[in-house]
Structure 1
Amino acid sequence: MELNLLSGLLLLALLCLAMLPFAIPGVLEVLLALAIGAFVTAALIWFGWLPEDTSLVLLSLAMLTALSALLLWKPLRKLQKTGIRLQEDSAISDFVGTELILTELASKDSDSHIQFCGLEWRVRLDPTEMATTIEAGQAVLISSASVGFLLVKRKSF
């Protein structure tokens, strides 16, 4: 089997897409931009709009990857910052629904701390909570948990 530029680009794009679930933030964006650049460059070759000259193909791949990275950077950063839900570890997902009494003011904008199960946890209000702050001494329920971090909601009676 002969590997030409078109099939090499398609293979590169598929490998980048296959590695996305295992990539850490920062590398994820690069892989996605590279996959898009490779697919678009392969499409340009396929339709005959770009000759199969190695230097032109590499230049096109580099330019399209950079363009993709620039266009995707802001939406991906915004998506990462919202973080509606934390990824729950199976060992601590049993905490969800547990009632706590706040020892510090809890807000959506900054972390507070609480002693729970013999450890100090960072606490923040769940983004879906209507209130922006909950005073110390109030009862709350854990809505999501991650290692060392709890999202809480006001306990509804």
Structure 2
Amino acid sequence: MESLAHYIPQLMITAGIIILAIEVAVLGFATFILFFLGLSLIITGAICWVGLMPATWPVILLANAILTTVLAGVLWRPLLRMQSHTDDKRVKSDFEGHIFVTSETVNKSGSALYTYSGIQWKLKSDIEIAAGCEVEVIKAEVGVLWVKAV
């Protein structure tokens, strides 16, 4: 145990990196507390390693508690803002652009059905499309293909 006492700064930096890896890889950066703790362990370990702070347990625990609190106070809002940013860009489906001839009248109610790729899809359109018309898929939702006349 005495031999580990000589490597406290290195152990703290290693523990901080492991905690950051768990936060990012396992939890997907969903909780910030492990991020703040890991960061404070790395910073405190580096400060001890350089010799600016004694590597004793009471000093290390107090420094980590204070540094974790300061990091949480400073970084909480920016990280929350970064996490709440979403991209509203619509993703294009592989079904979009598929052209076929409908066998039933297509309207907004979704009563027309079409079997494609082993799935029976409801067909919907903003305007009524007569049976036998060629249509193109413009949007795919769960179980629904939105079409327009070609």
TM-score, length basis structure 2:
0.54
> Which secondary structure does the structure 2 equivalent of 1:83 belong to?
coil
Instruction: Give the letter for the 1:51 counterpart.
Output: P
1:41–1:57 Cα contact (<8 Å) kept: yes
Specify whether residues 48 and 78 from structure 1 end up closer, same or farther in structure 2 by C-alpha distance, changes over 3 A only.
Answer: same
1:30–1:69 Cα contact (<8 Å) kept: yes
1:46 and 2:74 equivalent? no
Other-structure match for 2:93: 96
Q: Mark the runs of 5 or more structure 1 residues left unpaired by the alignment.
A: 87-92, 104-116, 119-136, 149-157
Other-structure match for 1:7: 10
Instruction: Give the letter for the 1:47 counterpart.
Output: V
TM-fit CA distance, 1:140: 6.3
1:13–1:39 Cα contact (<8 Å) kept: yes
Aligned match for 1:72, one of 72, 75, 98: 75
Q: Which protein is bigger by CA-based radius of gyration? A: 2
Aligned length: 107
- Distance of 1:39 and 1:7 partners within structure 2: 9
| Pairing of 1:111-150 with structure 2 (within 5 A) | 137=126, 141=139
| Pairing of 1:52-67 with structure 2 (within 5 A) | 52-67=55-70
2:13–2:46 Cα contact (<8 Å) kept: no
Instruction: Give the letter for the 2:20 counterpart.
Output: L
Other-structure match for 1:128: none
Instruction: Give the letter for the 1:3 counterpart.
Output: L
Other-structure match for 2:27: 23
TM-score, length basis structure 1:
0.52
TM-fit CA distance, 1:7: 2.1
Q: Mark the runs of 5 or more structure 2 residues left unpaired by the alignment.
A: 97-107, 109-118, 121-125, 128-136, 143-150
Root mean square deviation of aligned Cα: 3.8
